[in-house]
Chains A and B, each alone.
Chain A
Amino acid sequence: MSGVVIAETFRRHVTNIGFIAYLALLAILSLGVSVFNRPASVWPTLVTLLALITGSGAIGPEFSSGTLQLILVKPLTRASYLLSRVTGIVLAVWLAAAVCAVFELTGRALWSEGVPFLPIGAGLLNIMADTILAISLLALLGSITRAYFNVAIYVGVMATLWVTEVAVGFIRQSSSALGRLLANRKSVDLVLSAIDRNLFPEVLPAFDPKWLVLVLSNAAVALLLACLAFRGREVPYGAD
């Protein structure tokens, strides 16, 4: 991996005015809601959203903006560049997650009776793993599409899964032939939930090593596929 690319990607994100504003919002929210909610229950969702926003720019838009050509003639492999970009983005998102955790701890220290270090620590660890997976998937989708289609596909798949699960439930309750057929087919649920669990795992509130291994191994597979796709992809120069 390239330290230069990691540092530049990180710098570009954390100096972005939108990122700074979002970070300030997260900090205030983490501080404010710490009194009223379970530990690490509000900000992880917002950090995931940040991962989706920043991860969408991992590689896809570089194909369409024509910025890749200057990089690809430099002495680093495509895989190295992709992994470095992902690392830089992940670090920027982790910074946001760490800020949230620190502000929640501060809020609880100020206004609550006890400081729940362990649940907040577990929440932080889980969201850190979850953001690696989300950004890796976006990098994979970005390496086979262009512009911001990666995030469109990501959200599209997520929505389709949810709609399909709901639709299967409704159809099952009906007295139609399809409903009767699905009623005896538990494998449909298993497949849908396996896809959901692997691609969009729900961030757990407690430490669970099995869950961490699942998330991180899926991220590794996504990154491997992303590197392979990016290596074989042609990059016509000039904009699309």
Chain B
Amino acid sequence: MQQTLFDKIWDLHRVAQRADGRDLIYIDRHVLHELHAHHAFAQLQKQGRPVRRADLTFAVQDHTVATKPGRDDDTNPSGSAFIRAMREGCRTNRIRLFDVDDPEQGISHVVAPELGIVLPGATHAVPDSHASTVGGVGALAFGCGTSELAHILATQVMALKRPKNMRVQLDGRLAAGVSAKDVALRIIAEIGVAGARGHVVEYAGPAVHAMPIEQRMTLCNLNIEMGGRSGFVAPDDVTFEWLARRPFVPQGAEWDRALRHWRMLASDEGAGFDREVRLDCATLEPQITWGTDPSQVVGISGRVPDPAVLDPGRRAAAASAFGYMDLAPGMPLLGLPIDRVFIGSCTNSRLPDLQVAADVVRGRHVAEGVVAMVVPGSSSVKREAEAAGLDRVFREAGFFWGESGCSMCAGGNGDRGEPGERCVSTTNRNFENRQGPKVRTHLASPATAAASAIAGRIADARQLAPGTT
């Protein structure tokens, strides 16, 4: 019987079936963050239940940490209680914490893969819906709530109903200036915000395997925005080369042994998928959202749709989005004046993301009146970017260069826009009020965000006139 890679990983990690029919799936690596962990620590303490495998559990401070240089626990006053409770909970339960001042602190979905904490074919859980970001290295990752977090701490398993299999086949070669972010936005536009609900998605095809790991992580990061339970890319030589020698991966003879196993991690030829979607990436241009959910997307040269031509089920949402976003049907987005640009988040904050943005920005200046921020995904990314001089490129262009964290993605650390502002953002959710009350968010790639900061308008990085300032 041919199996998908998801089936193989699931079956290998299936510990038992519970009386209620749920499978108990072993979680190889569990990563917590401060926004949710304290509830779970308190619950376990009340129940007198110990953490089963503190040695497989890690913690980061990411959602509420300030990004201001020289930050401490109290720089964001509404984060300090979370940060301190996290520290105390990790100390009591002997969990390795990447604390606010740790040289390897950062967003969980950035830190875990860059340290080699997640591995191909391993299962991973985070109390955050963007957990599947690490699917970019071939891990099977599940986002979860707080009760499930406590459950994993106490048992090291998740009690899950087996999801279905879906494959997203990405053909063709991406044109220059087009990235995984654009591919992901296009897929969500095609299948909708619930298009992958109940499914684990395998991203396959030549366009995916041509992507570097950081791009694959961007692709898998946005899986939840089409409702997917998890999403991953089968590991290949690019994956193994990327992971080799990272501090938490197996070393020496054990690496060789793991590698032999990882090379077999693939869906069998002819394995059946419950749903298949195909996208030809060769003709794709940069994409940008116009509305208030991540499926409301147009190509950068395109026009905002006319609700009359939309699927009836999407008309009401579109009409409401036009009001919130202050847009009119049929208008182009290119050239629309903006107030703010944010480059960062678990979607697009890794070193290559910052390099692409810096290449657009180099020698230019942020348009007058635009507030532009770059927040690296981890303190390690920040250090590497600084070693490459990227911080100087951004700062000289008028960008704020921050300390690592989730920052303006959900604004949990106080970084947010002002009411009515229009923001081009490399994040994952353009929901109403997410980046601040009444802030109008357009999701796009780092290149589009950087070009828009320079132009002061929504811009196509490929068309930015040379030498403009």
Tell me whether A and B are bound partners.
no
Chain A positions within 8 Å of B, measured between CB atoms, are: none
**Interface residues, chain B, with chain A CB atoms under 8 Å away:** none
